Amino acid sequence: MSKEAQTDYKIHELLSKRWSPRAFDERPVEKDKILRMMEAARWSPSSSNQQPWNFVIGEKGNESWDKIFDCLIEFNQKWAKFAPLLILSVGRHNMISKDNENRYYKYDVGQSVAHMTFQATEDGLFVHQMAGFDKKKARMTFDIPDDYDALSVVAVGYIGRPEILHPRMQKSEIAGRERKSLKEFLFSGKFGETSNLIDHE
Amino acid sequence: MSKEAQTDYKIHELLSKRWSPRAFDERPVEKDKILRMMEAARWSPSSSNQQPWNFVIGEKGNESWDKIFDCLIEFNQKWAKFAPLLILSVGRHNMISKDNENRYYKYDVGQSVAHMTFQATEDGLFVHQMAGFDKKKARMTFDIPDDYDALSVVAVGYIGRPEILHPRMQKSEIAGRERKSLKEFLFSGKFGETSNLIDHE
């Protein structure tokens, strides 16, 4: 199944073919592919090169997978149970060797997960990020220190058949992908004034 | 000049060859390349598909470029003056049609800039993101509403010669790139316990 983005301007196919499925195949993710994803995250840029990203890796069948799964909200558990790989992203919110806050830790962890996703897509995998999980439970379960925050759970695997999903989830699984148009968020001169790069119709 | 990442595991060359230069060539960025970058950002994933990203585009010689440049701290002005394209990223921090806070707006804007960066890299461009600018001045200059925050300034262009930089900046321009090792941020079982995916030496 392909849900390639309907783009107005041509973009790299690793970007246009990426989407966030819920139906994952049971096939495990190969160790070398997991490591390549992590290597990709590693070379992401960050503010003052603080590299605030950390990842707890759960492979289906092991204890970390079970513990991450147990932190998910019920809705996400209904489909994430199929994902062979669950990764908890954890960001450091203060600066290394300083007490001050790193205002860019979420921004930079988001970037590192995007890099991870790009590599996963190159390796034939799909990624679905989740905000819906119990952050306090994750902190207790994994003994996360105070200067770090659990930010997202990243499900990874090969694409599965939509039929394995709960009927209500099958609909969104096969629906088209939607985005705002470029003229809604590209500005020049002043915030809210559409950039003159966009042809006004 | 190449500063390809020294990776432990092979990653896509658009990731390994990406780095953040300060020396940009004066050659302008073609309009279709700018639009492809923005299209790439557009198809980035986001929490509840909120798409919190917005961008003010400044091309060297136009008013938006001058205004964005004027918001940069002095250190960044010393090199960003060479960049043909300066983009101000602005995130919406509340949810569309709801009053509640979007806790993922920074994370998601970071991802969208990563997507933008992959497309730029594919098109032969380089990207250098900056946190060092006056956010209040940016808000006033571009009349940014209260429910949005200026997050970063993104410099984009073709690579330039390091010699155009201030002597103190030339050193870092040609220095190798450094990252933590994987075992420092990949965990399993418990936060801080290196994942068993990593071979312990």
Q: pLDDT, tens digit, for every residue of B40-55?
A: 999 999 999 999 999 9
Contact A180 B51 (CB under 8 A): yes
Nearest-CB residue to A51 (from B51, B179, B189): B179
pLDDT tens-digit series, residues B8-29: 999 999 999 999 999 999 999 9
Domain contains B135:
yes
Q: Could A114 and B110 be called an inter-chain contact, meaning their C-beta atoms sit closer than 8 Å?
A: yes
Place of tokens 């107005």: A8
In a domain, A199, yes or no: no
CA separation for the pair B23, B87 (Å, rounded): 17
Q: How confident is the model at residue A200 (pLDDT cuts 50, 70, 90)?
A: low
What pTM was estimated for this model as a whole? Answer: 0.97
**Number of CB pairs < 8 Å for A and B?**
229
Let me know if residue A5 belongs to a domain: no
Residue in chain B nearest A193 by alpha carbon? B56
3-state secondary structure of B143: coil
In a domain, B189, yes or no: no
pLDDT of residue B1: 61
Residue range of the domain that includes A178: 13-184
Is residue A113 situated within a structural domain?
yes
For residue B192, being part of any structural domain is answered with no
Q: What is the total count of domains within chain A?
A: 1
- Two tokens, residue A11: 């973009």
- Residue A63: inside a domain, yes or no? yes
Interface test mutation site (partner B, options A7, A9, A48, A182, max chain B beta carbons within 10 A): A9
Return the residue in A15, A22, A117, A133 with the most chain B beta carbons within 10 A, the one to mutate for interface testing: A15
CATH number reported for the structural domain that contains residue B145 in this entry: 3.40.109.10
- Whether A57 sits inside 8 A of B197 (CB atoms) is yes
Per the domain annotation, does A62 fall within a domain?
yes
**How many CB atoms are closer than 10 A to CB A166?**
10
CA-based R_g, chain A, Å: 18
**A119·B15 Cβ contact <8 A:** yes
